[in-house]
């Protein structure tokens, strides 16, 4: 079986030389830094995104903590808290929170490998969306590497439910599509649904700018619990009933559901690779997104790794610039 898989990769590589749709892993061209506040901690944080070798994946490192305990891979199995944001941690009890918007940007920009160095326990919230991270990655540049890109292909339906909240992964012949619905009591949000067919440019245009949101009535409660200390109208849409409190209003009429898709794209990238399949959700959040991945990977018959990427055109949707356009 292993010999067969290797042959498939070899054949894929050879085909890749002649196939204009060959897909390889990508990383950043150079390191790039930003600073900002943590949404929940309210503290100022410095973060640097570094290029990384083929096969590294996305790896976080706390530079304020010495030794091997400072490293946390961006992987579903390292998720330790999902109540307000997605938090990853390791055996040394070191954690990093609010990784989902940065992870969504990596997914959207087609970055397979990067090392994220950070001097605190939370990714800066920036403007509450993934757009500043997309901009950072565009400034650093994205470069192709030698190894073929790997993807996770969904082979059968996997579903989780918590009351009226649901999330399901379905097989698809190619690409990655998201079908998301939300329902909130606040009239300014109410019912929204959005279908999104994943590609880098579509992520940047339709999803990356959608900001996180909260309800005025919950802000005092959150802050009393030590959360949302860095939250402000500069980094979140704040809703009260039928009113949006931000002076500039919304970036999209349906910014709320678009942001839920942004969160899901980031959470699902903790699978470790892009996915080939369809994600359908109703009122899903970080907890259910993580439960879905745990359920998926608990069943080896529900997924497979596609490493013959050169022969698989479906993954071309993960490229920002199609290879044929560059040729």
Q: Name residues whose C-beta falls within 8 Å of residue 289's C-beta, 6 or more positions apart in sequence.
A: 82, 86, 167, 263, 264, 267, 268, 281
- 129: contact with Zn ion by CB under 5 A: no
Catalytic member of 26, 40, 50, 286 = 286
Measure the CA–CA gap between 130 and 43, rounded to whole angstroms. Answer: 19
Nearer of residues 263 and 307 to Zn ion, judged by Cβ: 263
The region of 34-42, 105-113, 212-220, 283-291 touching Zn ion under the rule CB under 5 A is 212-220
CA proximity to 169, closest of 84, 81, 267: 267
In the complex, the smallest distance separating the C-beta of residue 39 from Zn ion, rounded to whole angstroms, is: 9
Backbone torsions φ then ψ of 33, nearest 5 degrees:
-120, 150
Characterize 109-122 residue by residue with b for buried, 16 or more Cβ atoms within 10 angstroms of its Cβ, and e for exposed: bbbbbbbbbbebbb
Q: Is 308 in the site for Zn ion (CB under 5 A)?
A: no
Which DSSP symbol is given to 226? T
Does 212 interact with Zn ion (rule: CB under 5 A)?
yes
Q: Contacts with Zn ion: how many residues (CB under 5 A)?
A: 2
Tell me: does residue 255 bind Zn ion (CB under 5 A).
Answer: no
**What distance in Å separates the CA atoms of residue 26 and residue 319, rounded to the nearest whole number?**
9
CB of 141 to Zn ion, least distance (A): 26
* Minimum CB distance to Zn ion smaller for 194 or for 303: 194
Residue range at the interface with Zn ion (CB under 5 A); choices 133-141, 142-150, 234-242, 256-264: 256-264
Q: Token digits for 316?
A: 């071309």
Could you tell me the smallest distance in angstroms from the CB atom of residue 214 to Zn ion? Answer: 10
Does 267 participate in binding Zn ion (rule CB under 5 A)? no
208 near Zn ion, judged by CB under 5 A: no
- Strands of the 237-240 sheet, one edge to the other: 213-215, 237-240, 243-244
286 is catalytic: yes
Which of these segments, 160-168, 205-213, 224-232, 272-280, binds Zn ion (CB under 5 A)?
205-213
Instruction: Return the number of the residue (24 or 40) whose C-beta is nearest Zn ion.
Output: 40
Return the residue of 122, 206, 255, 263 that touches Zn ion, per CB under 5 A: 263
Select 153 or 209, whichever has its Cβ closest to Zn ion.
209
Joined together, the tokens standing for residue 52 give: 């990384």
Q: Tell me how far, at minimum, the Cβ of 318 lies from Zn ion, in Å.
A: 21
CB of 237 to Zn ion, least distance (A): 11
Contact present, 119 and 64 (Cβ < 8 Å):
yes
* DSSP classification of residue 260: H
CA gyration radius, the chain: 19
Give the catalytic positions in this structure.
Answer: 286
Provide the binding-site residues for Zn ion, judged by CB under 5 A.
212, 263
């Amino acid at each position: 079986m292993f010999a067969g898989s290797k042959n498939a990769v070899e054949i894929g590589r050879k085909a890749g030389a002649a196939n204009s749709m060959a897909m390889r892993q990508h990383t950043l061209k150079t390191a790039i830094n930003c600073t900002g506040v943590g949404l929940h901690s309210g503290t100022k944080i410095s973060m640097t995104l570094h290029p990384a070798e083929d096969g590294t994946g996305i790896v976080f490192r706390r530079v304020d903590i010495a030794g091997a305990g400072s490293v946390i891979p961006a992987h579903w199995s390292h998720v330790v808290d999902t109540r307000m944001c997605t938090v990853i941690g390791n055996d040394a009890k070191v954690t990093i929170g609010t990784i989902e918007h940065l992870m969504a940007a990596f997914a959207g920009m087609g970055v397979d490998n990067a090392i994220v160095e950070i001097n605190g326990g939370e990714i800066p919230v920036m403007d509450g969306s993934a757009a500043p991270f997309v901009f950072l990655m565009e400034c650093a540049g994205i470069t192709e590497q030698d190894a073929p890109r790997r993807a996770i292909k969904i082979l059968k339906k996997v579903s989780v439910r918590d009351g009226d909240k649901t999330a399901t992964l379905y097989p698809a012949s190619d690409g990655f599509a998201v079908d998301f619905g939300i329902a909130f009591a606040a009239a300014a949000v109410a019912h929204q649904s959005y279908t999104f067919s994943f590609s880098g440019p579509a992520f940047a245009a339709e999803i990356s700018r959608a900001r996180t949101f909260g309800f005025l009535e919950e802000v005092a409660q959150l802050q009393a619990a030590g959360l949302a200390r860095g939250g402000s109208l500069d980094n979140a849409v704040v809703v009260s009933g039928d009113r949006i409190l931000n002076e500039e209003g919304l970036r999209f009429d349906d910014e709320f559901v678009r942001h839920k898709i942004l969160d899901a794209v980031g959470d699902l990238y903790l699978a470790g690779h892009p996915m080939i399949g369809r994600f359908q959700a109703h009122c899903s959040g970080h907890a259910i997104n993580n439960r879905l991945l745990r359920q998926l990977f608990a069943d080896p018959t529900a997924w497979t790794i596609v490493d013959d990427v050169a022969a698989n055109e479906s993954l071309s949707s993960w490229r920002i610039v199609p290879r044929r356009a560059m040729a």
